[in-house]
Amino acid sequence: MPETSFLQALFLGIIEGVTEFLPVSSTGHLIIAGELIGFDSVPGEVFETTVQIGAILAICTLYRERLTSVTRGLLNGDAAARSFLTSILIATLPMVILGALFYDFIVGVLFSPYVVSVAFIVGGIAIIVIERLNIDQRIESIEAIAPFTAVKIGIFQCLALIPGMSRAGATIIGSLLVGVERKTAAEFSFFLAIPVIVGATIVDLWGNRALLDGAHVPVLAVGFVAAFLSALVVVRWFVGFVSRHGFSAFGWYRIALGSLLLVYFLM
């Protein structure tokens, strides 16, 4: 495996870790960056989903006490722990169902730099508009998210099936619209990522199993570790930032980047 592939994997892994939990679309960034640097060392979407697992491991590390507490609560029949798990599962279901139904169309048609560029812009506008609505943020914990509210957030998360829309961004937008306060909206998007990304990784690895061999492991490992370490740094900063400043800055970033990319690819 050439040295260039390892440098590319390191670069893309860092991009994944930095962008996975921001409302800017990690998948969109990986598609664009991979296109620009000509990364094709791993078949299919296996590299993207593998580095996403690295980012998920960072969330499990940072929130290990919370996850451990919920697990203990479930074993002890704690109502708050059941509510936490119920909200996560219910909000995950819509995306799982639509993703399974339209998987081939999404991967075959929507994974395009042009789709990503337009989705960047549309998602950025949506974030800015919703932030300016000043919706009453009455829900201040994940345990307080009612089942029907979780369903509505889950439906919004389905927008993330369009590359460039951002899973975190779609979840956060949906959460803000139903009255979840900013910090809780960000953290809910973190926990929702665990079942969604783990499931997507299993599907992609299984679907591309015939194309993979031991030579791909080192490149995947470099990307995995890079995503894990960079996500560890970014997540804590992100929670503090949105608590103080909101999400509008990410909306403007999306619009600017999407516009530049659209011009570049059209030219």
Higher per-residue pLDDT: 7 or 206: 7
Residue-wise pLDDT tens digits, 34-90:
878 887 766 657 788 888 899 999 999 999 999 999 999 999 988 999 999 999 999
Q: How far apart are CA 84 and CA 141, in angstroms?
A: 9
Burial (Cβ within 10 Å: 0-12, 13-18, ≥19) of residue 35:
middle
Q: How far apart are CA 224 and CA 90, in angstroms?
A: 28
Q: Which residues neighbour 109 within 8 Å (Cβ) at sequence distance 6 or greater?
A: none
Instruction: Find the mean pLDDT for residues 235-262.
Output: 90
- Can you give the pTM of this predicted structure? 0.85
43 touches 220 (CB < 8 A):
no
**H or E element: which one contains 156?**
helix 147-157
Q: Tokens 């950025």 label which residue?
A: 124
pLDDT for residue 218 = 85
Instruction: Find the mean pLDDT for residues 5-23.
Output: 90
pLDDT for residue 195 = 87
Q: How far apart are CA 152 and CA 149, in angstroms?
A: 5
pLDDT for residue 211 = 66
Residue-wise pLDDT tens digits, 114-133:
888 899 999 999 999 998 88
The SS3 assignment for 139 reads strand
Which residues on neighbouring strands pair with residue 180, listed in sequence order? 139
Q: How far apart are CA 31 and CA 14, in angstroms?
A: 14
Q: Which residues neighbour 190 within 8 Å (Cβ) at sequence distance 6 or greater?
A: 21, 59, 63, 235
Q: How far apart are CA 194 and CA 92, in angstroms?
A: 10
197 touches 57 (CB < 8 A):
no
Looking at residue 53, its amino acid is I
pLDDT for residue 231 = 95
SS3 sequence, 117-182?
HHHHHHHHHHHHHHHHCCCCCCECCHHHCCHHHHHHHHHHHHHHHCCCCCHHHHHHHHHHHCCECH
pLDDT for residue 3 = 66
Of 5-9, 66-70, 214-218, 230-234, which gets the smallest average pLDDT? 214-218
Which stretches of 128-229 are assigned E, i.e. beta strand?
A: none
pLDDT for residue 86 = 93
pLDDT for residue 71 = 92
